[in-house]
Amino acid sequence: MKIKILFVASEVTPLAKVGGLGDVVGALPKALSKLGVDVRIITGYYGTHDEKTYPTSVIGKIFVPWNSEPLPAKIRKTVIPKSRVPVYLIDQPQVVSTGGIYDSPTAIAGSEAEVERFLFISKAAVLLPEIIKFKPDVWHLHDWHAAPVTLFLKPPHAPTLLTIHNLANQGWASSATIARAGLSVSGAKNFNLFRAGLEKADYLSTVSPTYAKEIQSAPGGEGLEDILRRRRQELTGIVNGIDTQVFNPATDRCIARRYDARHLERKFLNTTALRRLGGLDDIPGPVFGIVSRFTNQKGVDILSQAIEPFIKSKRLQFVFLGQGEKSLEDLCLGLAKLYPKFCFGKIGFDAVLAQKIYAGSDFFLMPSRFEPCGLGQLIAMRYGTIPIVRATGGLKDTVVDIAQLGGTGLVFNDFSAAALSNAIDRALALYGNRAKLKTVRRRAMRHDFSWEASAKEYLKLYKHLMK
């Protein structure tokens, strides 16, 4: 008999994606399905949904008690492309489908409307099993957006697993919003939905072993370290994978020239194409790239400080893609304006340009303050683009410094422009050693970061919870 798992999440790639959370929820269920798991996903039907590309069908209607009266919502259904994994989307025009997934380009919860959106989706999710005739063995909840499911489930219910993708994003609800959702909370005017879920879920996981350790103390715990220390026996870290069908330089239709580890000489054609796209000069030096949310977490502030002297001296070129805090966007835009032949980029989300940056860059930058797992470094390695990362969270777990046996990237410890500058210097030295560069690239490309191994770990955890 198949194990039945029900995911609840704010994002599902490619239907609705902003960051790595969407990539995980879009790829892990496909890997689990291949292991014989009956896995299904619940998410929101947002105002930005592309019905033409990802058509849905209405399969039912539910009435969700909200603000003391039943609020109707349509249940739409589709599948993750190139799979049979069903996705159920909650379509409620007043609460869920008014705009995008999040109200801020940083994806950090800030507005009351956004908090209400995910409270509603969580409450609706609890009603869905009866509608879709699916009784889960485990509820797999993702981040604060789905944490309220634990508050709405009534016993007896299947075990709940709450996965922490980013503890810094917590979702605070006012007493008025909590009341609209029909929850009773005494005391504080603002209620932390993530804290409530972390306390109530049957088991907790996060997306790398190192991050699981980091969040048990300050500052990594983001004010929730007391719960995580207390529950450390019910907390595990499982490294994310990537969808190796989507991220494959040998089949990627978005890049200028396809290649693999045996034909690395073709990679430079993607570098040339990336330079032409951005109007950059053809120089003998390397291209450094970044694809990221521009938030305090990602280290864009120290990156702009560290990389400018190298751009100014024409030793490298820099290509960026991302969006978030305006001050950080302006730092990158400022570099592009000052050095138009050595720096270019785009503010916003562009999946095609992202692929071109992964394939066309020589080095990929992830100087994060903290990083629960990170997918950029995994994708970069898949494309033979050497990651430069800070030793934190999943970056520490997945990238081995080239000074060590089996090295696949450049790793630095201190969160500072000086430490990053030193790592960039080392990258330039590696670039100058063409034989070693080729070896490191091939080693990185042949590393297995598929979801298969991680999916097996989740399957073990599900079975443990079902005992």
Is 82 annotated in a binding site? The answer is: no
- Which residue in this structure is represented by tokens 């034909």? 263
**Pairing verdict, β 190-192 and 203-206:** unpaired
CA dist 376 → 105, 198, 206, 267, 290 (Å): 18, 27, 17, 18, 8
d(CA 341, CA 278): 8
What are 392's two structure tokens? 């934190």
The single-letter DSSP state of residue 409 is B
- Which residue in this structure is represented by tokens 């030096």? 285
Largest separation between any pair of C-alpha atoms in the chain = 69
CA dihedral sign, ordered 240, 243, 244, 247: negative
CB 240 within 8 A of CB 25: no
> Which has the closest alpha carbon to 323: 346, 351, 293?
293
The single-letter DSSP state of residue 207 is S
Burial 2-33 (b: 16+ CB within 10 A, else e): ebbbbbbbbbbbbbbbbbbbbbbbbbbbbbbb
> Which has the closest alpha carbon to 427: 280, 306, 273?
306
d(CA 41, CA 20): 16
Binding residues for ADP-alpha-D-glucose: 17
Binding residues: 17
